[in-house]
Amino acid sequence: MAAETVKSAYWRGVRDGAPFILVAVPFATLFGVVATEAGFTIAETMGFSVLIIGGAAQFAAVQQMAENAPTLIVIAIALAVNLRMAMYSAALVPHLGGAALWKRAGLSYVLFDQNYAISTATFEARPDMSIDEKVAYFAGTALPIGPPWLLMTYVGALIGARIPPEFALDFALPITFLSLIGPALRTPAHIAAALVSVTAALVLAFMPYNTGLLAAAVLAMMAGARVELWAERRRAAECR
Amino acid sequence: MSTLHIWLVIVLIGIGTFLIRFSFLGLIGKRPLPGWVLRHLRYTPVAVLPGMVAPLVIWPGATGGQPDLARLAAAIMTLVMGYVTRNVIVSILSGVATLYLCLYVTG
């Protein structure tokens, strides 16, 4: 009986995560194309997707390496893009924190933006789910993202080497980044952070080894946090 | 970059990314994050990606760093459509369509 509900929780996760396949497939293909265009071998391209398995950070790392940024800067920028997942990890502790260590390690490997969002929403809406059901559900939501990500990276890498330069693929990477930014501009604080990031990155472009981008990122995070605080205080004042 | 160097970077980013994902679930546990840390973490993607993309749009490598109308128009279209529709795929397709249309028109 218990095994049956766990199994159905897994398949419910797969079904709820199914739409994400529409994001994973084109993005992974694009990554394969972009990475091979930037000069990486198919094995290296797959290395990014298997070991990092995180879209924006992989694109960021390829971009920085193509610009010959120093190793420490490449790593710092890629990890900065992924830092938000520490917040996801913390938010999942009340739901998955009780699972065995190896299960938590496995689920951490497949912790993405999309399945984090759908899983926390489901867990909060259905507090009656057992820990085993929650683990199974989360693993289920990762299935439509993880395997397609790896497979389509490979397909993209095979295609990438055959696309001629007239297709202006140099601009595939900027378009990919920009497509992630638009939907992320959810609040005035997000918009403020993005504006500070752009302005500071352009003004600080003279700084050596792409350190200007790191400085811009720190300033932008501070701007976002500051505007959020102001907005909260204003709301509190209006309520009074 | 040598092959070994490339793999070193990939592996280190891989380990770092895993540790970020595993941080609270695996290592830190139920200790809550202070509010100011959460407030900053929320903005990491919008703090890094716009700054990375801005120079690529304004000084594209393909034109030797000269601003280029087709690429600028494509960038604005991608951003606006992403903001309006909240849909990543629609956003990419509009950007690519704009880029090819402008490249075709300006020859």
**pLDDT of residue A158 exceeding 90:** yes
Question: Which carries the bigger pLDDT value, residue A169 or residue B36?
Answer: B36
Q: What is the pLDDT of residue B29?
A: 66
CA dist A62 and A148 (Å) reads: 20
Q: Which two tokens stand for residue A13?
A: 């996760």
DSSP A159-189: HHTT--GGG-GGGHHHHHHHHHHHHH--SHH
User: According to DSSP H, which parts of chain B are helical?
Assistant: 3-22, 35-41, 44-58, 69-85, 88-106
In a domain, A116, yes or no: yes
Give the range with max mean pLDDT: A91-95, A120-124, A146-150, B89-93: A146-150
CB atoms within 10 A of CB B26: 19
Question: Which carries the bigger pLDDT value, residue B33 or residue B24?
Answer: B24
Does A149 lie in the same domain as A99?
yes
What is the average pLDDT across A154-169? 81
Q: State ipTM.
A: 0.87
Which residues of chain B make contact with A107, given a CB cutoff of 8 A? 25
Q: What is the pLDDT of residue B15?
A: 97
In a domain, A61, yes or no: yes
Q: What is the pLDDT of residue A4?
A: 76
**Of residues A51, A173, A223, nearest to B56 (C-beta):** A173
Q: What is the pLDDT of residue A167?
A: 72
Question: Which carries the bigger pLDDT value, residue B41 or residue A231?
Answer: A231
Q: Nearest CA to A155 among A51, A26, A48?
A: A26
- The separation between the first and the last C-alpha atoms of chain B, rounded to the nearest angstrom, is 36
Which residues of chain A make contact with B2, given a CB cutoff of 8 A? none
Question: Residue A51 and residue B10: Cβ atoms within 8 Å?
Answer: yes
Does A153 lie in the same domain as A193?
no
Q: What is the pLDDT of residue A55?
A: 84
* Signed CA dihedral, B12, B15, B18, B19: sign only: negative
Q: Measure in Å the smallest separation between the Cα of B67 and chain A Cα atoms.
A: 13
Q: What does the DSSP 8-state code read for residue B25?
A: I
Question: Are A56 and A85 in contact, with CB atoms under 8 Å apart?
Answer: no
CB atoms within 10 A of CB A238: 7
**pLDDT of residue A96 exceeding 90:** yes
Does A76 lie in the same domain as A132?
yes
pLDDT digits (tens, 9 = 90+) for A30-58: 999 999 988 999 999 999 999 999 988 99
Give residue A52's Cα distance to chain centre.
10
Question: Are A100 and B26 in contact, with CB atoms under 8 Å apart?
Answer: no
pTM (2 decimals)? 0.82
Number of domains, chain A: 2
Residue in chain B closest to A73 (alpha carbons) equals B9
Q: What is the pLDDT of residue B60?
A: 86
Question: Are A226 and A89 in contact, with CB atoms under 8 Å apart?
Answer: no
**pLDDT of residue A197 exceeding 90:** yes
In a domain, A133, yes or no: yes
Output the average pLDDT for chain B.
89
**Of residues A86, A174, A183, nearest to B41 (C-beta):** A86
CA dist B1 and A229 (Å) reads: 44
Test mutation, A51, A152, A171, chain B, max B CBs within 10 A? A171
Maximum C-alpha span of chain B: 59
In a domain, A176, yes or no: no
Question: Residue A202 and residue B87: Cβ atoms within 8 Å?
Answer: no
CA dist B73 and B57 (Å) reads: 10
**pLDDT of residue A170 exceeding 90:** no
Does A133 lie in the same domain as A197?
no
In a domain, A177, yes or no: no
Question: Residue A168 and residue B100: Cβ atoms within 8 Å?
Answer: yes
In a domain, A101, yes or no: yes
Q: Which two tokens stand for residue A192?
A: 């403020």
Q: Which two tokens stand for residue B19?
A: 């540790």
pLDDT digits (tens, 9 = 90+) for B63-88: 878 888 999 999 999 999 999 999 88
| Domain interval for residue A7 | 2-170
Of the pLDDT bands very low, low, confident and very high (cuts 50, 70, 90), residue A177 is confident
**pLDDT of residue B16 exceeding 90:** yes
Single residue among A145, A170, A195 that ends a domain in this structure: A170
Q: What does the DSSP 8-state code read for residue B91?
A: H
In a domain, A60, yes or no: yes
Test mutation, B17, B23, B96, chain A, max A CBs within 10 A? B17
**What is the residue extent of each domain of chain B?**
51-106
Does A239 lie in the same domain as A148?
no
Which residue do the tokens 């094995």 mark? Answer: A43
**Of residues B13, B17, B47, nearest to A217 (C-beta):** B47
Question: Residue B21 and residue A88: Cβ atoms within 8 Å?
Answer: yes
Question: Which carries the bigger pLDDT value, residue B62 or residue A125?
Answer: A125
Of the pLDDT bands very low, low, confident and very high (cuts 50, 70, 90), residue B94 is very high
Q: Which two tokens stand for residue B71?
A: 């690429």
In a domain, A50, yes or no: yes
Q: Which of residues 66-105 of B touch A (CB under 8 A)?
A: 70-71, 74-75, 78-84, 86-89, 91-92, 95-96, 99-100, 103
What is the average pLDDT across B89-93? 89
Q: How far is CA A229 from CA A52, A222, A225, B40, B73, in A?
A: 33, 11, 6, 11, 34
**pLDDT of residue B30 exceeding 70:** no
DSSP A208-223: GGGHHHHHHHHHHHHH
CB pairs under 8 A between A and B: 278
Q: Nearest CA to B17 among A194, A179, A61?
A: A61
